[in-house]
Amino acid sequence: MSMNQARRPKYVIYLLLVMLLVLAAYPMIFMVANALKNGDQYTVNPFSFGVAPPFGQFFVLAWEYLEASFFRTFLIIALSLVGVIGFGMLSAYAFARLKFYGKAFLFYAIFGLLLVPGFLTLIPLFLQIKNMGLLDSDWALILPYIAGGQAFAIFVFRTFVQGIPNELFESARLDGANDFQIFQRIVVPLSVPIMITIGLLNITAIYGDYVWPSLVLAPSQSTVAMAIANFVPPPAIVSVNVVNMQFAAYTLAAVPMVLLFLFFMRYFVAGLTSGAIKM
């Protein structure tokens, strides 16, 4: 086989990768390009990437529309992550390193929750939240998100903790460390990539959730997903420009997730490849 023949398959692979990149990036480019247009420019040719002044006139209005929803969503995500990661790591450490009656049964019972589709629990969960008097409050989202994220977090963290060499735990106990000190000084520092992985998975799930917030929150307390789905243009927006303002709102809503994965992708991959998640 000649050198040219050997290189030909590589060129085909590169061409296929470029085509996949274009297909994956085109919706984002289409959204941003139309957010920078006005209604007349969109009507003439929505598939054109050429824009004319004024550029991005709808982003300010879109931010005013989404500002309160952004801050509420970020608060809900932050408190939910603290609960999911904190309780998940503590429970996983107990399942991995402590001995107590019924440990195997409890773990497999928790693991079985991963097999239950989320939509089956919507009605009983709604009734429980209603009976607790939490409707129309952020806790109606935070507490179910914490509870719902425990099964996967415990499974992943337990597998990781079991993979830590026993010599580390034995040497710490010889130095007089108790379980909490071992957890704080050994398990937590080593678990940072796993924490980021679990965090990113939960952030994307919570950020994009529309069904549950729409059931327990009033429209005036919208999350970002609710605000985007129930978009109502301000009175100052001419009807021909509504679609372009929607694109501006979609672009603003996508920015946090794009930045999150750009800055934390290497930690996410490190968590996936560290042995915690068995594919």
Domain ranges within the chain, ordered by starting residue? 3-35, 59-273
| Closest by CA position to 74, among listed 209, 224, 239 | 224
Question: Looking at the chain, how many residues does it have?
Answer: 279
Query: pLDDT at position 239, please?
Result: 65
List of residues 6+ apart from 141 with CB closer than 8 A: 76, 80, 206, 212, 213, 216, 217, 223
Q: Give the pLDDT score at 202.
A: 92
> What amino acid is encoded at 20 in this protein?
L
pLDDT in single tens digits along all 279 residues of the chain: 455 555 567 778 888 888 888 888 888 888 888 888 776 777 777 777 766 666 667 788 888 888 899 999 999 999 999 999 999 999 999 998 888 888 888 888 888 888 888 788 888 999 999 999 889 899 999 999 999 899 899 988 888 888 888 888 888 888 888 888 888 888 888 888 888 889 988 999 999 899 999 999 988 888 999 998 888 777 666 665 778 888 888 899 998 988 888 887 777 776 666 644 443
| pLDDT at residue 73 in the model | 94
Spacing of C-alpha 277 from chain mean position: 17
The architecture in CATH of the region 59-273 reads Orthogonal Bundle (1.10)
CA distances to 97, 165, 169, 170, 190 from 176, in Å = 17, 18, 11, 10, 20
Quote the pLDDT of residue 207: 93
